[in-house]
Chains A and B, each alone.
Chain A
């Protein structure tokens, strides 16, 4: 029975399908838990990133030197691999979700500040001039003139930042908080359990696409005039 050549290891014989509905059904609560963490980390990182990026972009627009500094620094941050980023934050915040959140915020911040800056610079000078001539103050000019005109660039930035943050969150497995990424490495460590890995991977892609579609919808709602112009 155990003659050489014909025998198979139990591992080889065991089925290891790429897709398995019963895995998803049996582990629904676990998957949802990881999905929740994934969403919380993504939303948190993009919101905090936006909250820091907007004032930064506003200041950088006024000061040419500062603008150049912000842009070149963002290129450098951008180039740092996520593995290195998380590993460098880890000594300060330990094996916590905070480590992942800080790293993700840094990435979303540099994506957003670029796009915010591009959007603000895209507001024509004569429009600004006209608004000033009509007696608009700085605050009112921002809300009623600059923000609506820069909105497409802002939303493009938010969409890119959100989609890449969803993908990047998986690297959080390094400190045990990778959202759906936990399924990917969890399946790898559980004797290459393909169904779990594919569930995590497909979940990430679906989450990114849903987020992108949602943000596209928000953009449509916020810019009704663009729709009117296209029609």
Chain B
């Protein structure tokens, strides 16, 4: 294909990366928007997930939230925030992305904390731990793999969706693809697509590794988790699994 050669040439040009408005600047913008969005979503969703999951209440609401969020197109939400009084630009994009990052984090945190064995909780209480200590020292380590799954899903989702912001006047790496379409430049379109796809895959990979590092215990890596889940035949209890 003609376009792929052009894409390589485009990516191989140092000026493509370093000039003003080049790949590096857009990448920085992309990562900054994504990081703020995920962090904001985590700050909002994690405490709620802990509270609900630890008390074992509100599962109906969490399931509904996770299902409805799957049906809402990301493009629609990005556009709606862009035409709201916030005005289009990076602030609207960040808010829209944060809204989208909430369901995976909330659902997974909820499921993780709810899944803590009642006997373990009971034993911790019997040892004289306070409510706070039980959550921090007993429930959190046990729920951590699922919490991290939620964060990973949310982060990958946000990094992927941030590319769409360019369709409605936002910044980030999606600009390259959008500009390419505007100029009928196949090379640029493909180059932008490769960059966005690579960024999403790297985010996934990086967070899989982080999960492995922070998860206590030998058999609680994400890969073990995945295998167990697949064999058990349980459909994923999360809002994960929505490609963006």
Contacts and interface: CB of A to CB of B under 8 A. Distances in A.
Nearest to B162: A81
Contact of B167 (A84, A121, A168, A174): A174
A87 B156 contact: no
Residue among B71, B73, B200, B241 having the largest count of chain A Cβ atoms under 10 Å: B73
A174 B181 contact: yes
Contacts of A76: 201
B71 A121 contact: no
A117 to B, nearest CB: 8
For chain A, what secondary structure do more than half of its interface residues adopt (helix, strand, loop), or is it mixed?
A: helix
A209 interface: yes
B242 A81 contact: no
Given A78-B241, A198-B80, A212 B235 contact: no
Contacts of B189: 87, 90-91
Interface residues on A, range: 35 or more
Interface in A79-118: 79-85, 87-88, 90-92, 107, 110-111, 114-115, 117-118
B9 to A, nearest CB: 15
How many interface residues does chain B have, given as a range? Answer: 35 or more
Contacts, number: 167
Contacts of B127: none
Q: Which of A92, A117, A153, A184 has the most CB of B within 10 A?
A: A184
6 contacts: A83-B193, A87-B193, A110-B243, A164-B242, A167-B71, A167-B72
Interface of A: 71, 76-85, 87-88, 90-92, 107, 110-111, 114-115, 117-119, 121-122, 153, 156, 160, 163-164, 166-171, 173-174, 178, 181, 184-185, 187-188, 192, 194, 197-198, 200-201, 204-205, 208-209, 212
